């Protein structure tokens, strides 16, 4: 069985996004832009909807596949979770279009965390609110970008990788503080600003961008939360460390393509 997206379909539909494929049983052969990846349980792949592709599905041998009457191996249909990701959510984080037809190791470490999250969200979809579902998918996308970025660039020296991890954790914990800057963060952590900048530069970002991104995520999550429905946009801006509602609205629209008010209206 093949799933094909032709060049004509890609031109006509002009869909801007990716599909993340997580095989559950059987084998998927993914071909795009002359590159091929064979995906089995424990691996995953990305395909862009902007280009033609072909996905071939081989029979599965998992516990759900029927066993032939002659006692041979099971040969049921291949199964996979498929997650659609807007292109801007990956390209902005990676600062380039994501590679396609990529076999990602999802059997251990962060890859296994991502695979477990995808399976859990897929299985619990009916029990999740729209806001919860979007928040979970956003975290999956963030972690998936970390995996893809790690394949695109050389491994960071041990010290820079440690600095990056500590800085990211610090920003998550202190993002709502209005005085949070790269210099203040470096001083509090006992490093030079240059060390912090080098570590984040290797990861493709800057202190300012990292702080702004975390603050925008906090605001977006609160806009989707029914418990914060009566909190004004101005109060949300100040609570997240923005100087004003207009500063928040400008940054928010640039990042998500809608204003805070529009997102709140759509969420509720």
| Residue 64: predicted pLDDT | 40
Task: For residues 132 and 164, state if they share a domain.
Answer: no
> Is pTM beyond 0.75 here?
no
Tally of structural domains, the chain: 2
Backbone angles phi, psi at 15, to 5 degrees: -75, 130
Among 18, 13, 21, which Cα is nearest to 87's? 18
Query: Is 72 contained in some domain?
Result: no
Query: Is 66 contained in some domain?
Result: no
How far is CA 240 from its chain centroid? 22
Query: Is 126 contained in some domain?
Result: yes
- Indicate the burial class of 45 (C-beta count within 10 angstroms; 0-12, 13-18, 19 or more): buried
Residue 51 CB-half CA count within 13 A: 18
| Residue 267: predicted pLDDT | 75
Q: How far apart are CA 23 and CA 36, in angstroms?
A: 16
Backbone angles phi, psi at 181, to 5 degrees: -140, 170
Task: For residues 53 and 114, state if they share a domain.
Answer: yes
| Residue 54: predicted pLDDT | 86
268 residues of the chain, pLDDT tens digit each: 678 888 888 777 766 788 898 988 888 888 887 777 788 889 888 888 888 888 887 765 444 443 444 444 445 567 888 898 988 888 777 766 655 656 788 888 888 999 999 999 999 999 998 888 988 998 899 888 888 876 655 545 667 878 888 899 899 999 999 889 999 999 888 888 998 998 888 888 899 999 999 999 999 999 998 899 899 999 999 999 999 999 999 999 999 899 999 999 887 6
> Residue 5 pairs with which residues in a beta bridge?
53
Structure tokens at 84: 């659609």
Structure tokens at 10: 């890609």
Domain hosting 188: range is 158-267
CB 79: neighbour CB atoms within 10 A?
17
Among 228, 241, 220, which Cα is nearest to 135's? 220
The DSSP symbol for 96 reads S
Task: For residues 92 and 129, state if they share a domain.
Answer: yes
Any idea what the CATH number is for the domain that residue 232 is in?
Answer: 1.10.10.60
Task: For residues 142 and 180, state if they share a domain.
Answer: no
- Containing 172, the helix (H) or strand (E) segment is helix 158-174
Task: For residues 92 and 195, state if they share a domain.
Answer: no
Task: For residues 100 and 178, state if they share a domain.
Answer: no
């Amino acid at each position: 069985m093949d799933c094909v997206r032709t060049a004509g379909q890609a031109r006509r539909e002009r869909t801007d996004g990716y599909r993340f494929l997580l095989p559950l049983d059987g084998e998927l052969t993914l071909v795009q832009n002359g590159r091929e990846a064979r995906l089995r349980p424990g691996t995953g792949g990305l395909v862009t909807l902007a280009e033609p592709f072909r996905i071939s599905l081989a029979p599965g041998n998992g516990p759900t596949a029927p066993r032939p009457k002659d006692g041979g191996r099971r040969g049921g249909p291949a199964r996979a979770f498929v997650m659609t990701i807007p292109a801007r959510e990956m390209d902005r984080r990676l600062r380039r279009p994501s590679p396609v037809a990529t076999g990602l190791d999802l059997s251990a470490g962060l890859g296994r965390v991502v695979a477990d999250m995808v399976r859990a969200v897929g299985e619990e979809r009916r029990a999740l609110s729209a806001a919860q579902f979007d928040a979970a998918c956003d975290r999956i996308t963030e972690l998936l970008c970390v995996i893809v970025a790690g394949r695109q660039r050389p491994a960071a020296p041990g010290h820079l990788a440690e600095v990056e991890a500590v800085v990211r954790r610090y920003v998550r914990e202190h993002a709502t503080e209005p005085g949070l800057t790269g210099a203040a963060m470096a001083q509090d952590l006992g490093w030079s600003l240059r060390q912090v900048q080098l570590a984040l530069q290797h990861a493709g970002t800057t202190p300012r961008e990292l702080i702004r991104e975390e603050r925008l995520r906090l605001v977006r999550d609160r806009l989707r939360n029914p418990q914060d429905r009566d909190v004004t946009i101005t109060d949300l801006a100040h609570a997240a460390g923005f100087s004003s509602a207009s500063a928040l609205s400008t940054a928010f629209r640039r990042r998500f393509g809608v204003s805070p008010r529009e997102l709140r209206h759509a969420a509720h």
